[in-house]
Structure 1
Amino acid sequence: MANFFNRLRLSPPRILVCGFALIIVLGAVLLSQPFASKDGSALRYIDAIFTATSATCVTGLVVVDTGTYFSVTGQLILLMLIQMGGLGFMTMATLIALMLGKRISLRERMVLQEAMGQQNMEGIVRLIRQVIVFSVTIEAVGALLFTIRWAFDMPLGQAAYFGLFHAVSFFNNAGFDVFGEYRSLTPYVDDPFVNMVSMALIILGGIGFVVMKEVWEHRKFGKKLSLHSKVVLAMTGFLILIGALVIFTFEFTNTLEPLNWRGKILASLFQSVTPRTAGANTLDLAELRQASQFFLIILMFIGAGPGSTAGGIKITTLATLFGCVKAMSRGKQDIVLFHHRLAPDRVFKAVTVTMMGLGLVIIVAMVLSTTEDAAFIRILFETVSAFGTVGLSTGLTPDLSDIGRILLSVTMFAGRLGPLTLAYALGPGTEKELYRHPEGKLIIA
């Protein structure tokens, strides 16, 4: 597949867009076949496109319940799409090429660099190998732990299948589950084992493969962590802690009230971890207070780490914006994080990504507010969930009109690839400017 796109001489962003689009179309064709459903019915193609997009973009929003509608074959197709979408089609293509002993061309390395969000191509193939090893190992351990736990609740074969499906889904931050009836993990709201394993998989998938690699080398070889890894780890811990405190405070006398103290703490932590950007939930999100729902919207918009299986504007973008505010409020020219000065282009990119993401969310939410009969907070929730490739839902998605499903499909696609990558792919080629305009003065209040 990668060689085919290379022959077309497409730019790396366009190769990524075309690759993901092709996977979605092929996935939709498979999901629309009678063998993909339990009752042998054919899923409407627009619903198949929505589901394939949600799986490939590792989101988790569904218009039909995964556990009750799809057959085992259909669920395995979803699992394949989730794995390909989480790792990226170029990573999977590189894996196949390496297994066949083929050489990775310079152009393919450039596409891998774009896909992994790296600033240079040095060691990119070695990084891909490590990504695959990390992914398979973590998913296997997660599947084993889930199997052991669920073997107490169901037959061993079913427990093993459930363990594999949810380990892959949660590590890739997809949010799909096969428990049925749109329940997600609500039956395990106060189960410490299921909660901790799930959160560990989600966090590992969300911090990014580069950070996992550096943490591993830091512990094993004593190598220093880069600025990127320090920012991702610090912001991840900060957002989880703040999120848990906010959810605990707002929901203490609401959805948390029936739970004991262990359940309250676990539920608060879990609902703080999953909006960035896993899509599983242990509380009924439709029953949350609007303040809690709005706070989850903020977390979903932020997302997790770059080069990971997560979406959103990314926590490094948020850290850059925080640094910009801090520097400006103190009258300083340089933005400094962990004693490192950020280059101006990083700041420009952070502002651009944020504004483009915000613009997309605003436009889609406004259109949906005219096509759908629902409260605006629920519409905004589903929109940001799609953009952040989260998959959390207040229950609105299955009731969306066809226009709403198309809009959210496009939003999930843009959120997974990133608005900036999509703009590069769809826009005209860039040319180096041969001159600079004169500097002007603009009053900013």
Structure 2
Amino acid sequence: MESKLKLKLSYTQIIALGFFLTILVGGILLTLPISSRSGEFTPFLNSIFTATSATCVTGLVVFDTYTHWSIFGQIVIICLIQIGGIGFMTIITMFSIFLKRQIGLHERRLLMQSAGSMQLSGVVKLILRIVKGTILFEGLGAILLSIRFIPEMGFKVGIYNAVFHAISAFCNAGFDLMGRFKQFSSLTRYSDDIIVNITIMSLIVIGGIGFLVWSDIIKNKWHVRRYELHSKIVISASAILIFGAAVLFFLFETKNGVLVHSSMKESILASLFQAVTPRTAGFNTVDWASITQGTSIFTIVLMLIGGSPGSTAGGMKTTTLVVLVMSAVASSRHKNSITIFKRRLDNDTVKQASAVFTLYFIGFLIGSLLLCYFENLPAVSIMFEVSSAIGTVGSSMGITTTLCAASKCVIIALMYAGRVGALTLMLTLAAKKKCAPVERPAEKILIG
């Protein structure tokens, strides 16, 4: 039976099915009375919404995580975040290693695709590095956050909150327990706190650059010239997006926005934080509903771009953006090939980038139109919500709790597609293709 299932399902389909089953189990657990503080059943749609948001490391919520969910419910959520962040195949592999079970070729191929690796050899070692790195960074993050949380909340509660937020930040999820102070407030309480801001930002960036980049940095240390082309593109693009977005946020919001009355220290911290978090993390230290129109527009763009391939982040990915931009530059210069860091990209990579961009744009457009039909809300708020869902970000202008059942279903589909869809598409395109029996005549059309 198992062999027949393997033959019928491709590796990408197994990964997509794994995410679906994880969401379903999580949704059922969150529906139970033990998961809510009131001890009552939670409506299944809201439970599935929360489970999808957690597993797809998004962060959009219909309930405040602290005030609605019990300790059991919160533990279910953080487990879903961890599974969704590093991948369920990674979790399964670790169990196999602990049980001293041999990892077969089929499992290795699944791991390769789940972790975003480009080669089969060394994939188990990569998984072990991912697990060790995850434990290390989340542990360090929890220790640093506990310095601030323990004095405020007490030892046990402080440690628990530090661990929860460290996992949520590293996995780029954006779930928080700050409802104990004010519902749906995220990290606004710590807008001028250097320890909390730097720790959360660092975890988000480390989790969002991708496991392959980790491996490259560990292997080559500070010898940047030895880095793989993938790592060079990811690091360069991430740095440009973070600092570019920080400058834009500072300019827009200190002029007539949320930072008008803030100190220079708070303005710089807030600008950096809001430049990092829209690329799939979902935390915030300012009220998104109060930002300027200009900030809303470039934040939507950041949410659609997302993090990097093979990471805990979502979105269309930084590499997709770079390839498309360089493709446009090459086309404008009448060049037949794209060169980045003295390396030429193959045509398949450009096709994959175009396909992923098209997929995300269509998803964003359809999602926005559907929510405009179902809801009587400002278009900017709707586009912000949709880009947050498909980019698996979790930021919102405060409309998530007001959405009708149909809109929630749309957001659920977008979150799932954002976490699984683009990955599946890229892996499908990368798979071995059958040659067409007949090549049709070529003909030119006008573009632009």
TM category (shorter chain) comes to: over 0.9
Question: Counterpart of 1:246?
Answer: 248
Amino acid at match of 1:56: T
Residues in 2 aligned to 1:271 and 1:222: alpha-carbon distance in whole angstroms: 28
Residues in 2 aligned to 1:340 and 1:424: alpha-carbon distance in whole angstroms: 22
Please give the residue correspondences for 1:29-428 in structure 2 after superposition, counting only pairs within 5 Å: 29-180=28-179, 181-219=183-221, 224-252=226-254, 253-419=256-422, 421=424
Q: CA deviation at 1:8?
A: 6.0
Question: What secondary structure does 1:214 align onto?
Answer: helix
Amino acid at match of 2:412: S
Question: 1:356, 1:420 within 8 Å by CA — same for their partners in 2?
Answer: no
Question: Counterpart of 1:10?
Answer: 9
- Tell me: CA distance 1:220–1:348, structure 2 relative to 1, closer, same or farther (3 Å): closer
Q: CA deviation at 1:439?
A: 2.0
Residues in 2 aligned to 1:237 and 1:5: alpha-carbon distance in whole angstroms: 46
Question: What secondary structure does 1:341 align onto?
Answer: strand
Residues in 2 aligned to 1:216 and 1:263: alpha-carbon distance in whole angstroms: 34
Residues in 2 aligned to 1:39 and 1:119: alpha-carbon distance in whole angstroms: 48
Question: 2:356, 2:426 within 8 Å by CA — same for their partners in 1?
Answer: no
Question: What secondary structure does 1:184 align onto?
Answer: coil
- Tell me: CA distance 1:9–1:125, structure 2 relative to 1, closer, same or farther (3 Å): farther
Question: 1:31, 1:43 within 8 Å by CA — same for their partners in 2?
Answer: yes
Question: 1:31, 1:48 within 8 Å by CA — same for their partners in 2?
Answer: yes
- Tell me: CA distance 1:233–1:222, structure 2 relative to 1, closer, same or farther (3 Å): closer
Residues in 2 aligned to 1:410 and 1:48: alpha-carbon distance in whole angstroms: 14
Residues in 2 aligned to 1:333 and 1:40: alpha-carbon distance in whole angstroms: 64
- Tell me: CA distance 1:122–1:6, structure 2 relative to 1, closer, same or farther (3 Å): farther
CA distances 1:289-343 after superposition (whole Å, capped 9, x unpaired): 1211111000000001100011110000000011111111112111111111000
Deviates more, 1:414-423 or 1:107-116: 414-423
Question: 1:6, 1:107 within 8 Å by CA — same for their partners in 2?
Answer: no
Residues in 2 aligned to 1:384 and 1:213: alpha-carbon distance in whole angstroms: 30
Question: 1:17, 1:422 within 8 Å by CA — same for their partners in 2?
Answer: no
Residues in 1 aligned to 2:314 and 2:289: alpha-carbon distance in whole angstroms: 22
Amino acid at match of 2:19: F
Question: 1:143, 1:166 within 8 Å by CA — same for their partners in 2?
Answer: yes
- Tell me: CA distance 1:183–1:358, structure 2 relative to 1, closer, same or farther (3 Å): same
Amino acid at match of 2:228: S
Residues in 1 aligned to 2:156 and 2:4: alpha-carbon distance in whole angstroms: 41
Structure 2, unmatched stretches of 5+, are: none
Say how many residue pairs are matched: 440
Cα RMSD for the two superposed structures: 1.7
Q: CA deviation at 1:255?
A: 0.2
Amino acid at match of 1:28: G
CA distances 1:343-399 after superposition (whole Å, capped 9, x unpaired): 000000000000011001100110110101210110110000000000001101111
Structure 1, unmatched stretches of 5+, are: none
Question: What secondary structure does 2:151 align onto?
Answer: coil
- Tell me: CA distance 1:7–1:345, structure 2 relative to 1, closer, same or farther (3 Å): closer
Question: 1:320, 1:347 within 8 Å by CA — same for their partners in 2?
Answer: yes
- Tell me: CA distance 1:92–1:110, structure 2 relative to 1, closer, same or farther (3 Å): same
Q: CA deviation at 1:221?
A: 8.4
Amino acid at match of 2:439: R
Residues in 2 aligned to 1:390 and 1:74: alpha-carbon distance in whole angstroms: 21
Residues in 2 aligned to 1:424 and 1:329: alpha-carbon distance in whole angstroms: 29
Residues in 1 aligned to 2:193 and 2:261: alpha-carbon distance in whole angstroms: 15
CA distances 1:90-136 after superposition (whole Å, capped 9, x unpaired): 11111111111111111111112221222221111110111000001
Amino acid at match of 1:285: W
Deviates more, 1:324-333 or 1:220-229: 220-229
Aligned-residue sequence identity (percent) comes to: 41
How high is the TM-score relative to the length of structure 2? Answer: 0.95
Question: What secondary structure does 1:336 align onto?
Answer: strand
Question: 2:356, 2:425 within 8 Å by CA — same for their partners in 1?
Answer: no
Residues in 2 aligned to 1:356 and 1:48: alpha-carbon distance in whole angstroms: 27
How high is the TM-score relative to the length of structure 1? Answer: 0.96
